[in-house]
Amino acid sequence: MLNDQTFSDIYLGETASWLAGVPGKLDPVPAPFNCEADLAGLRVACDEFVKEKKKDEFTVRYGNVAYRVSILRSLAEIVYVLRRFPAVVPGLDTLGIHQAYIDMLMTPRLTGLMVVAGAFGQGKTTTASSMITARLSKYGGVGVTIEDPPEMPLEGKHGEGVCYQTWAEQGGFGHACRQVARWAPSIIFVGEIRDPETASEALRASINGRLVVCTTHADNAVMAVERLFALANGAAGNAEDVASLLAGGLVGVLHQRLESATEDGKKRPKVEFLWLNGDEAHGPRNNIRKRQFQQLHNDVQAQRNRLIMGRSTNTNPAAAATGR
């Protein structure tokens, strides 16, 4: 059975299928013979979705498991590339993120723009989703997502809070951000910031007393800030105003890269963190306002050093960083 196999991705071809991300194996490995029926059913589900919706990227559920699907059109065949998602959103404290960073992400009454950055397939959506469910469970409130396609199972009740997932077409994220703001949620999740209008609207939402969580592609935390500025500036066209908006709205950037660090083969994130809250905020915000983005590397390193050395304005770095 497919659900009994451990893997991260499926290359679902017309004549053969391969699994990737199998612990202890080099990618890819042939799909086991006993999975052929499930793979055939999964291919039918993908075919039917494409026929009806005519999308090249979408989410499909099969056997109570969700997959994000993209279409690879090779010279010989059409291959569905499926990324497997957990059946439930994992707990924030199970991801392998340092507890001090978790304490920051769980700061009470946190508002602003929180960015989870990284390359493709590095667990950005999982971390963002875990943060959202943890905050809704502990503090209550309403969360609304803007995704294309929806990925993690966020819809429904989470402890004291509730989350509603929406599917916005790419090109319509900016409009969706404006619409969501009218519903007065405490948390907005923007699945991925890819275009100028979405970046601009996410920033505007972040300065209006709510927490906006988003993902973006970047090689490190500083590049994530630069990317947001470049995108938002593409919509607004006034660099000084955009820099001021970004400096005022951004509350943190968590960049992660998955690494195999345990004997069980589970991948843990290597995290780079830029925090713009409480006593940590003044220097980075000033550098962003002046568009001195390269100086943020020093801010990241200084914050990391304080965390390692345990030096801060309070007795421990996590406690200091959680102050507003």
CATH number at residue 8: 3.30.450
pLDDT digits (tens, 9 = 90+) for 58-74: 889 888 888 989 999 99
Task: Assess whether 46 and 187 both reside in one domain.
Answer: no
Task: Assess whether 196 and 158 both reside in one domain.
Answer: yes
Total domains present in the chain: 2
From 84, 100, 123, the end of a domain falls on 84
Distance in angstroms between the alpha carbons of the first and the last residue of the chain = 50
Cα 323–128–162 angle (5° rounding)? 90
Structure token digits, residue 130? 């875990």
Question: Which comes out higher in pLDDT, residue 309 or 316?
Answer: 309
Q: Average pLDDT, whole number, for the chain? A: 89
Task: Assess whether 99 and 182 both reside in one domain.
Answer: yes
Task: Assess whether 183 and 315 both reside in one domain.
Answer: yes
Task: Assess whether 152 and 255 both reside in one domain.
Answer: yes
Mean pLDDT on 88-114: 94
What was the pLDDT predicted at 263?
58
If pLDDT is split at 50, 70 and 90, which confidence band does 315 have?
Answer: very low
226-230: Cβ within 8 A, 24+ apart? 226/293, 228/113, 228/115, 228/193, 228/199, 228/203, 229/288, 229/291, 229/293
Task: Assess whether 279 and 135 both reside in one domain.
Answer: yes
Task: Assess whether 223 and 304 both reside in one domain.
Answer: yes
Task: Assess whether 225 and 292 both reside in one domain.
Answer: yes
Structure token digits, residue 249? 């709205």
Mean pLDDT on 33-53: 93
Q: How far apart are CA 78 and CA 302, in angstroms?
A: 49
Would you say residue 321 has pLDDT above 50?
Answer: no
Domain extent at residue 100: 92-321
Mean pLDDT on 5-14: 93
From 84, 108, 126, the end of a domain falls on 84
From 84, 114, 132, the end of a domain falls on 84
What was the pLDDT predicted at 319?
41
| Radius of gyration for the chain, computed over Cα atoms and rounded to the nearest angstrom | 20
If pLDDT is split at 50, 70 and 90, which confidence band does 243 have?
Answer: very high
What was the pLDDT predicted at 70?
92
Task: Assess whether 168 and 56 both reside in one domain.
Answer: no
What was the pLDDT predicted at 316?
43
What is the pTM assigned to this prediction?
Answer: 0.83
CATH number at residue 273: 3.40.50.300
Task: Assess whether 44 and 156 both reside in one domain.
Answer: no
Mean pLDDT on 38-50: 94
Mean pLDDT on 226-251: 92
Task: Assess whether 110 and 199 both reside in one domain.
Answer: yes
Task: Assess whether 46 and 98 both reside in one domain.
Answer: no
Mean pLDDT on 300-318: 69
pLDDT digits (tens, 9 = 90+) for 157-166: 999 899 999 9
Residues 112, 253: contact at Cβ < 8 Å?
no
